[in-house]
């Protein structure tokens, strides 16, 4: 197989970047503000940094639960759009609103009851009882404010997910950038108490985030509603919330494996981080520093993965299976290239980035080591990410579930658990060993993609 089969022409990359760049910009700006947010909280102290990090890690499970529920239906959205079926797209939009609302209500009740218990699970490692108590207090306060923002997150996800699935990535980007600006200004005013406002610390960061999420929803809803000629699915979308029973059944069958996958994958990541924290409370702060820069530099391959799902899904909807396979192959190669470039950048900043935080030297040293590990493995993450979206584009959600979350729970989580409870291995080497397992996952994903079992039309 020649190298040429992995490289597209000028028009190919123009098409790909038209979809991917707005997602990169949206996620990049968002993660940059998260970085500033993180640095602002980090200037308060290690306990504030750890409390917010733990709360966000727990709520990360909710975000992926919503993403998974919408993503399953989004497979239909992309393929309906590829067929030119506005009514089909409208039904998927309604279904996303319904399922996201139900899941959000259940999640809020769960978090209200379980927040202190869940945060306490991360406070078992070495450290003083006073630090643990303060971290718990900060984390619970932050999390309870953030729960208010779960409602706009759910509805925003329905809008932005549908727009992305039909290839309209610029509008979600604009809405996100506006919200991010609001969040940044809110952080400056409320964390430190500028312009006579009270200095609320971590609580101020939570309030600013909640406000920004309502702003993002407002921008999306108003813009989409006032441009119905461009977004045909929104016409009559709220006359009722009716979804035909046969379609609802299909949506549920595709959504459940993805919803379970995203939730279990997020729980797996949370459980692994809890295992790392079992060794030392310093691991919580160090992992938060690492994840902040990883999220910023990982936007390229993460956006490319989403673009794979959108573009390949639409081609499958049009019925051109061979073109879908060719496009997926070239996009996977481009995604890995993006991962390699930004992985090198991540390694380059590893010695310097942790120094921006007001924390202990031990935390800074550990964070530098973790940044190096994740940077070195970024090309492999890029490959598995692109493989995941390739498999998902054809509606093979059960196979996606087996490839993604089952791998985490069968291999990664047990290894992290055993290393944390039954060995004296340092946190750095624990993370290195667990992340090395991603090579096995990449081989499995590559085999699934090459088999071609994912390439099918599910809406005709």
pLDDT reported for residue 26? 67
Give 6-52 pLDDT, tens digit per residue: 787 788 888 888 878 877 776 676 666 666 666 677 667 777 878 88
What percentage of the chain reaches a pLDDT higher than 70?
A: 94
What's the CA dihedral at 92, 97, 103, 109 to 10 degrees?
Answer: 180
DSSP 28-51: HHHHHHHHHHHHHHHTT-HHHHHH
The whole-angstrom separation of Cα 95 and Cα 89 is 10
For the stretch 88-115, what's the b/e string if a residue is b when 16 or more beta carbons lie within 10 angstroms of its beta carbon?
bbbbbbbbbbebbeebbeebeeebeeeb
Check if the beta carbon of residue 100 is closer than 8 Å to that of residue 14.
Answer: no
Check if the beta carbon of residue 90 is closer than 8 Å to that of residue 180.
Answer: no
Give 269-287 pLDDT, tens digit per residue: 888 888 888 777 778 788 8
Check if the beta carbon of residue 274 is closer than 8 Å to that of residue 117.
Answer: no
pLDDT reported for residue 366? 92
* Band (300; pLDDT cuts 50, 70, 90): confident
Give 241-265 pLDDT, tens digit per residue: 888 888 888 888 777 777 777 778 8
Give 90-101 pLDDT, tens digit per residue: 888 999 999 899
DSSP 323-363: HHHHHHHHHHHHHHHHHHHHHHHHHHHTTTGGGGS-S-HHH
Look at residue 3 and tell me whether its pLDDT is greater than 80: no
- Quick count: other Cβ atoms within 10 Å of Cβ 238? 11
pLDDT reported for residue 221? 93
| CA atoms lying within 13 Å on the CB side of residue 363 | 26
The whole-angstrom separation of Cα 182 and Cα 343 is 30
- Per-chain mean pLDDT for the chain: 83
* Band (349; pLDDT cuts 50, 70, 90): very high
Q: Which two tokens stand for residue 290?
A: 């690492």
Q: Among all chains, which residue has been given the structure tokens 């989403």? A: 306
Give 374-414 pLDDT, tens digit per residue: 999 999 999 998 888 888 777 666 777 777 788 889 999 99
pLDDT reported for residue 412? 92
Q: Return the ∠ at Cα 436 (arms to 267 and 50), rounded to 5°.
A: 45
Q: Which two tokens stand for residue 239?
A: 């006359």
Look at residue 345 and tell me whether its pLDDT is greater than 90: yes
């Amino acid at each position: 197989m020649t190298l040429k089969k992995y490289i597209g022409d000028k028009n190919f990359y123009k098409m790909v970047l038209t979809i991917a760049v707005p997602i990169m910009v949206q996620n990049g700006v968002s993660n940059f503000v998260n970085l500033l947010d993180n640095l602002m909280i980090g200037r308060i102290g290690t306990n504030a940094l750890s409390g917010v990090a733990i709360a966000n890690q727990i709520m990360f499970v909710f975000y992926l639960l919503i993403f998974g529920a919408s993503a399953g239906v989004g497979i239909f959205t992309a393929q309906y759009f590829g067929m030119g079926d506005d009514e089909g797209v409208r039904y998927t939009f309604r279904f996303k609103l319904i399922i996201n609302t139900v899941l959000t209500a259940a999640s809020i009740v769960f978090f209200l009851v379980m927040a202190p218990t869940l945060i306490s699970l991360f406070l078992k490692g070495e450290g003083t009882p006073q630090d643990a108590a303060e971290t718990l207090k900060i984390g619970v306060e932050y999390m309870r404010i953030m729960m208010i923002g779960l409602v706009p997150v759910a509805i925003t996800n329905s809008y932005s997910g549908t727009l992305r699935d039909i290839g309209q990535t610029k509008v979600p980007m604009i809405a996100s950038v506006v919200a991010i600006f609001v969040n940044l200004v809110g952080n400056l005013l409320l964390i430190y108490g500028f312009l006579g406002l009270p200095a609320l610390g971590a609580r101020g960061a939570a309030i600013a985030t909640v406000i920004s999420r309502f702003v993002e929803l407002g921008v999306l809803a108003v813009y989409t509603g006032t441009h119905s000629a461009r977004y045909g699915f929104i016409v009559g979308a709220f006359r009722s919330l009716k979804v035909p029973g046969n379609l609802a059944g299909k949506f549920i069958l595709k959504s459940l494996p993805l919803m379970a996958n995203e939730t279990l994958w997020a729980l797996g990541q949370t459980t692994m981080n809890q295992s790392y924290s079992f060794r030392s409370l310093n691991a919580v702060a160090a992992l938060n520093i690492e994840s902040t820069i990883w999220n910023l530099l990982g936007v390229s391959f993460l956006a490319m993965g989403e673009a794979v799902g959108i573009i390949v899904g639409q081609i499958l909807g049009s019925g051109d299976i061979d073109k879908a396979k060719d496009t997926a192959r070239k996009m996977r190669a481009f995604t890995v290239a993006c991962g390699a470039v930004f992985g090198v950048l991540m390694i380059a900043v590893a010695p310097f980035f942790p120094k921006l935080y007001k924390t202990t030297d031990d935390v800074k040293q550990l964070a530098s080591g973790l940044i190096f590990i994740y940077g070195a493995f970024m090309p492999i993450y890029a490959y598995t990410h692109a493989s995941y979206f390739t498999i998902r584009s054809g509606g093979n959600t059960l196979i996606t579930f087996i490839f993604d979350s089952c791998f985490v729970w069968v291999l990664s989580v047990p290894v992290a658990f055993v290393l944390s409870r039954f060995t004296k291995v340092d946190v750095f080497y624990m993370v290195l060993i667990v992340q090395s397992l991603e090579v096995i996952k990449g081989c499995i994903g590559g085999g699934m993609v090459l088999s071609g079992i994912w390439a099918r039309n599910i809406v005709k």
